[in-house]
Amino acid sequence: MIELENVAYSYGGGELLSDVSLRLAPGSFHFLTGPSGSGKTTFLKLCYGELVPTSGFARIFDQDVRSMTRDDIAMARRRIGVVHQDCQFLDHLPISDNVALPLTVAGFDVQSESQNLAELMQWCGLTPRANALPPELSGGERQRAALARAVILSPDLILADEPTGNVDWEMSQRLLQLLIELNRMGKTVMIATHDLGLIRAAKQHVQARVLRISNRRLQLAGADL
């Protein structure tokens, strides 16, 4: 699905990531850890084509990122759901419309997808808040809405950047369970987090691979990949 081969990325004159290689297999579950500023968000952006490696190769669904057109990237991103740290909602639209935005952008008839949208809102526990504006939501509701929006197109891969960073433990467990359920449905999941408790909780329910960015390199279980 996603393949990085000897990837490096430089930012502001300094190298942020170096010699990173990884393959994300269909149906796998990954955690990405590392201290703040280590490059977790940059790594995720390389995975969905927002950034192009300074050196090495990044392939998204067997296409080299460097050879992909803007349209190619847009089509590939329909298969990738991204949960950003800051959620990035349109505050003048009710949350149901925000969740449905990817359908509109992709050219789907939102009205014909209303049943799927209603089921997704219910699955995420957002039905009572469907008509609320984003500023009216709690932190947990915003994160669940961000997850709903990320999966509305039924993507093959979900990338979540610190999805539990601004919620309490109970809500983080609920969000984790939603991501585990998606993985059981066959979706590939990668969660960037610094919360080791979240990782321990997940390992009770799913076979998760834990990756760590340290000294610009990607490591697995304390060893270089």
CA max distance for the chain: 50
Instruction: Answer for the pair 219, 209: CB distance below 8 angstroms, yes or no.
Output: no
CATH of 2-79+157-224, one of 3.10.50.40, 3.10.129.10, 3.30.70.270, 3.40.50.300: 3.40.50.300
Q: Is residue 194 a contact partner of residue 163, using CB atoms and an 8 Å limit?
A: no
Specify the pLDDT at position 221. Answer: 54
CA dihedral 30, 36, 39, 43 (to 10 degrees): 30
Give me the residue spans of the domains in the chain.
2-79+157-224, 92-154
198-221: pLDDT as tens digits: 898 888 888 899 999 988 888 875
pLDDT at position 13:
73
User: Looking at residue 16, what DSSP letter applies?
Assistant: E
Q: What is the pTM of this model?
A: 0.89
2-11 and 55-60 beta bridge pairing: antiparallel
Coil, helix or strand at residue 133: coil
For 165-182, the pLDDT digits (tens) are 777 888 888 888 889 989
pLDDT in tens, the chain (225 residues): 899 999 999 987 788 899 999 999 999 999 999 888 888 999 999 999 999 999 999 999 999 999 999 899 988 988 999 998 888 899 999 999 999 999 988 888 888 888 989 988 998 889 999 999 999 998 888 888 998 999 898 899 999 998 887 778 888 888 888 899 899 999 999 999 988 888 988 888 888 999 999 888 888 754 433
Residue 4 burial class via C-beta count within 10 angstroms: exposed 0-12, middle 13-18, buried 19 and up = buried
Phi, psi of 14 (to 5 degrees): -120, 150
Q: For 198-207, which contacts have Cβ atoms below 8 Å and span 24 or more sequence positions?
A: 198/31, 198/164, 198/172, 199/31, 199/33, 201/173, 201/176, 202/29, 202/31, 202/176, 205/177, 205/180, 206/29, 206/180, 207/29
Q: Residue 214: how many CA atoms within 13 Å on its side-chain side? A: 12
